[in-house]
């Protein structure tokens, strides 16, 4: 019978959404990683896109986009975001 600590060792709390998810090499759950990739794709294709436009194109809330900025994945520059990671 597995020990409770052994089972929990396979899980982590996503630092972006706070949900419990399977242990991963990065700090994000699969959903947050997919969201990050959507945002990154738009920023790569259109580096001068403002946050509101990214939100409209992806359906990701402005607050979620800004959480990636706060966690160091993007940087804000005069309303636009650039990729850091």
Higher-pLDDT residue of 9 and 71 is 71
Provide the pLDDT for residue 4. 54
pLDDT (tens digit per residue) in 26-64: 778 999 999 999 999 999 998 888 999 999 999 999 999
Provide the pLDDT for residue 9. 73
How far apart CA 54 and CA 2 sit, in angstroms, is: 45
What residue ranges define each of the domains in the chain, with the CATH number in brackets?
4-83 (1.10.10.10)
Higher-pLDDT residue of 59 and 5 is 59
How far apart CA 81 and CA 65 sit, in angstroms, is: 9
Provide the pLDDT for residue 6. 58
Q: What is the value of pTM for the model shown?
A: 0.77
Beta carbons of 49 and 82 less than 8 angstroms apart: no
Beta carbons of 80 and 48 less than 8 angstroms apart: yes
Helix (H) or strand (E) holding 13: strand 11-13
């Amino acid at each position: 019978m597995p020990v409770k600590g052994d089972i929990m060792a396979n899980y982590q709390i996503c630092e972006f959404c706070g949900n419990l998810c399977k242990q991963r090499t990065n700090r994000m759950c699969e959903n947050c990683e997919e969201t990050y990739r959507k945002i990154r794709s738009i920023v790569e294709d259109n580096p001068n896109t403002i946050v509101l436009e990214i939100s409209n194109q992806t359906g990701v809330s402005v607050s979620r986009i800004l959480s990636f900025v706060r966690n160091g994945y993007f940087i804000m520059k005069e309303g636009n975001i650039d990729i850091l990671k």
